[in-house]
Structure 1
Amino acid sequence: MENYGRVFGGNDKSDFSIYSHVYTESVSAVQYSFYQEEIKLAEKIGVDIARYPKETFYSRSNILGPEYMGDGASAPFDEQFPMAFGTGPFSIQDRYVTEDIPVGCHIYHELGQKFGVKTPVIDSIITLGSAMVGIDFDQTGVTLKELGIGHLDRAELLDYLENGNYKEEA
């Protein structure tokens, strides 16, 4: 809705790009909130993640600009991001939903439960993604147990991540 009349969406579906035609201020606000939940998880566990200032999220290129094109790379919302043309996704069954949610989001959700960090935005994405594709990602998502780390406490997980010392499940 926010992009209507602001950027040309094109008539050829193969030109579609999530970066060129979907990213808006509201989408950026959700992504930034998601990122804040990631930071809380990392801090609670005792690891760090790449840090980005809030304003980095508020462009058509989002954090991918500085990640892939260097600091300061940004595509304003009022401009197209032609580099991304034709990159899709072209179906709701795209990996952004069918992989990123049951793997990435679900693992964050489980880490939040395990370490007492609320993840309401991440949980909402799981719920909405499940409704969109008709798959219950709460039931089918990758678990910490499947990764072999569900039994590890914080210290054991950090020892495994930092030093490769893995404690077998008793």
Structure 2
Amino acid sequence: MDMSYLKDMPIAVLGGGAVGKTMAADCALAGKEVRLWDQPRFAKTNFLNIEKTGITLSGNQFSFFGYQRRGIAHVALATDDLAKAVKGAGIIIVAAVALGHEAIFRELIPLLEDGQVIHILPDNCGTFVFRKLMREMGCTKDVVVGAWYTAPYGIRVVRRGGVVTNECKVEDRITTIRGCALPMKDNDRFMASAYYIPAFGAIIDAEGEVTISKKGEEFHHGFVEGNTVLDINLSNVNPVIHVPGTVLAVSTMQNFDTVLGQNKANYSLYAFGACPAIAEVQAKFWEEEKALAKAMEVGLCTVNYEDFFSRTTMYGKEYMGPDFAVPYEENYQNFWGDGPFDLENRYITEDVPVGCYLMSQLGKKYNVPTPIIDSMILLASTMLKRDLAGDSKWTLDYLDIDHMTHDQLQAYLREGTYTPKA
């Protein structure tokens, strides 16, 4: 699919947090015109002095093929005016947490132009919400809406003395990423557009490479086409890693500075919370996801049982190849400071009411038992003293798919044929 018209068009990045700011800088350093937008309530902090300082890309930038891009980037525009950010842009990257999606989409949809391609990362049901709102708002623009199962980096924005700086510390760059459009029939356009996003440079550079693991397993680098956006949501491994890891290692996190005498700012789930017992729970969690994907006749990324049993979990092979794993015996200081530092963190407040709850609902719809996933929802809710599922707006009804039969849902996911509620 020829998407070359995107080559010289600006890129709009929506979200001034770690992922958005890093992707904007990465694309700008590659010579693209980039507009960076954030909501007014966040822009004042996230864009402080950005015109003067630019955005610094730093960090180890580990990658299997050694891809790196460093320096100080200056975006063409950093603004809280969404119309200015997206006017004439070819690609619109949504790099915001799921809790902010609806408000952003309601403001964005009236501004859409034919030919634009929207990339949501990670999806966290964003594609469903976007298409639902397009229908509700009567938007008929010819746009492609797709998503990726993760961001292309392991990244943190540097804070100094309580001040959010414009330095983005990139620890890792992945060499493979899984994506899909809603509907799936738009995949040719969606996947082709990804080559015009320089932030995917490590992935583009590795496209077509195959690495053979020690066990003889083939690992394919580059862009991977998912089998429907439900595949992309299930393949997002944040819930399976973050939720059991945070919930079951909560005592280490909460006692880190008091009882254990450590600097609270150094805490990391991966460095200090990961252990074989928690990995067993994560592996069982994943088995429930595999059963869901099979029942729904959608795809799922390949994660092996043994991939859970290291400090780097399955994330390691995305960045450093299929045989990369840091053993539990190693004090891996590269992870220090990753957090989370309390339970009021997206590891819980996003991954439970969005990711885990979606899986639990789909399990009930398709008669697939999800006891491990359900137990994580219950424990997290108990610890936070509120019902993270019952209070969640990410119901199947909110996503506009609860009323559909299996065949109707397949037609919607693949062809875009929407069956209205009776």
TM-score, scaled relative to structure 1 = 0.90
Q: 2:286 aligns with which of 3, 16, 35?
A: 35
Report the alpha carbon displacement of residue 10 of structure 1 after superposing the two structures with TM. Answer: 7.2
Q: CA deviation at 1:48?
A: 1.3
Confirm or deny that 1:149 pairs with 2:404: no
The answer for the alignment partner of 2:137 in structure 1 is none
Q: 2 CA distance for matches of 1:108 and 1:40?
A: 11
1:63 partnered with 2:314? yes
- Alignment of 1:94 with 2:348, yes or no, is no
Whole-Å separation in 2 of the counterparts to 1:56 and 1:128 = 25
Indicate the SS of the match to 2:390: helix
Q: Aligned letter for 1:40?
A: A
**Structure 1: where are the runs of 5+ without partners?**
none
- Output aligned runs, 1:17-28, within 5 Å: 17-28=268-279
> For 1:39 and 1:112, how far apart are their aligned partners in 2?
11
Q: Which runs of 5+ in 2 are unaligned?
A: 1-247, 253-259
**Match of residue 334 from structure 2:** 83
Q: Which moved more, 1:53-62 or 1:120-129?
A: 53-62
TM-score (norm 2): 0.38
Equivalent position amino acid for 2:416 in 1: G
Task: Supply the RMSD in Å over aligned alpha carbons.
Answer: 1.9
Counterpart among 276, 299, 302 of residue 48 in structure 1: 299
Asked if residue 110 in structure 1 is aligned to residue 110 in structure 2, the reply is: no
**Structure-2 change in CA distance of 1:81 and 1:165 (3 Å):** farther
What's the counterpart of residue 389 of structure 2? Answer: 138
Q: Which has the higher strand share?
A: 2
Q: CA deviation at 1:147?
A: 0.8
Give the letter aligned to residue 111 of structure 1.
L
Q: SS of the residue aligned with 2:322?
A: coil
Q: Is the 8 A contact 2:266 2:336 kept in 1?
A: yes
Give CA-to-partner distance per residue, 1:131-169, whole Å, 9 cap, x none: 011111231122100111111111111222222222121
Q: For residue 143 of structure 1, what is the amino acid of its counterpart?
A: T
More helix by share: 1
Name the SS of the counterpart of 1:145 in structure 2: coil
Distance 1:81 1:155 in 2: 47
- Aligned residue pairs total 165
SS at match of 1:77: coil
1:14 equivalenced with 2:274 (yes/no): no
Amino acid corresponding to residue 78 of structure 1 in structure 2: E
The Cα of 1:94 is off from its aligned counterpart by 0.9
Q: Is 1:105–1:126's contact at 8 Å kept on the other side of the alignment?
A: yes
Deviations 1:79-134 (A, max 9, x none): 12322211100111111111100111111000000000000000000100000111
Q: CA deviation at 1:73?
A: 1.6
Q: For the residues of structure 2 that align with 1:98 and 1:25, how far apart are their CA atoms? A: 25
Judging changes above 3 Å, is the alpha-carbon distance between structure 1 residues 10 and 35 closer, same or farther for their aligned structure 2 residues? farther
In structure 2, the residue corresponding to 1:62 is in which secondary structure? coil
